[in-house]
A = this chain, B = another copy of it.
Amino acid sequence: MTLNLPDVQDVAEARRVLGPVAIRTPVLTSEALDRATGGRIFLKCETLQHTGAFKFRGAYNCLSRLDSATYPDGVVAYSTGNHGLAVSRVGQMLDIAVRIVMPRDAPAVKIARARAFGAEVILYDRHSQTREAIAARISARARVAVVPPGDNPHIIAGQATVVTEALEDIGAKRVEAVWVPCGGGGLAAGSCLAVQAAGSSAAVWGVEPEGFDDTRRSLASGRRETNLALNGSICDALLAPTPAELPFAINGPHLAGAVSVSDAQVLAAIRFAFEELRLVVEPGGAVALARALARPEDFRDRTSLIVLSGGNIDKALFEAAMRTDPDGEGAISQPIFL
């Protein structure tokens, strides 16, 4: 079977489509971060994108091309959260009916927001059901298009524009490495395309939560491996069970590699973002920053782009992050009673 992979032309087309609607999010630098790593780091702040995550880009690029004659009942998406939020918001903008299949243990804030955007939210149990099966059952009964979080060329091309914009702002030739959060791999694949499109020779690295290193293991074995657990990391946005097919077809040959960070390292990064960047970052959105803080030697004496990919975090978890002890290697310090 031939895969319908996006190419640099699709990225250029996605930029044209997204130009008037997506937020051109800022690229920030931080003296504290450069000091902590000994490198020069640029942060692309997709936390400031519509619906608080880069997912808006792929969703809009995909849904704006929907053939409503073929799919009069709109779309259905399965999502660990941010993709669902993005599809919900885009559906509201384009007047397309949206159904979202989300795990029952997704952050409450993400479920509530999808509903606020007018989507019908269908909750499922990660342990006894697969989201793909539920989405397929819905699409068999209604004339809806399935909008997967990664397995679609327009989604990948949309996500690519994150890095395209950043390379344009920084200067494509300056950036030596690009570090992005990696779940299903759509952002990583888009980043590879964006680097290629910009004529940059930057290495693209995916960062995964510890214990959910399906992309790292898949790169090693050459086939799509599955995570042993379905949950158990605070990085709810990155718990796809296996690399998505299309992204992996791009990531396999193009990704420099994939590395992991622990929950404690992620909490420390969220706290760093609060204190030093004054930004709210969710766990899955903070993994690349966490890697820079935990392994500064990989960033020393070079120019790197880090994507902060999302900022939808429940306040209880944010409070936990604020209580981590930055001098204790990200460990949570003593409980605080206000």
Residues of chain A touching chain B, judged by Cβ–Cβ distance below 8 Å, are 23, 25-26, 28-29, 31, 47-48, 50, 52, 109, 274-275, 277-281, 311-312, 315-316, 318-320, 322-323, 336-338
Contact = CB atoms under 8 A, between A and B. Distances in A.
A316 B338 CA distance: 8
A91 to B, nearest CB: 14
Contacts of A322: 315, 318-319
A316 B323 CA distance: 10
**Copy number of this protein in the oligomer?**
2
Contact of A52 (B28, B50, B278, B319): B278
A312 B276 CA distance: 9
A338 B319 CA distance: 9
A139 to B, nearest CB: 29
Most interface-central of A47, A280, A323 (chain B CB within 10 A): A280
A229 to B, nearest CB: 24
Contacts of A274: 280, 315, 318
Contacts of A25: 26
| Most chain B C-beta atoms within 10 Å of own C-beta, residue among A48, A52, A278 | A278
A189 B193 CA distance: 48
Name the residue in A279, A281, A316, A337 with the highest tally of chain B Cβ atoms < 10 Å from its Cβ. Answer: A279
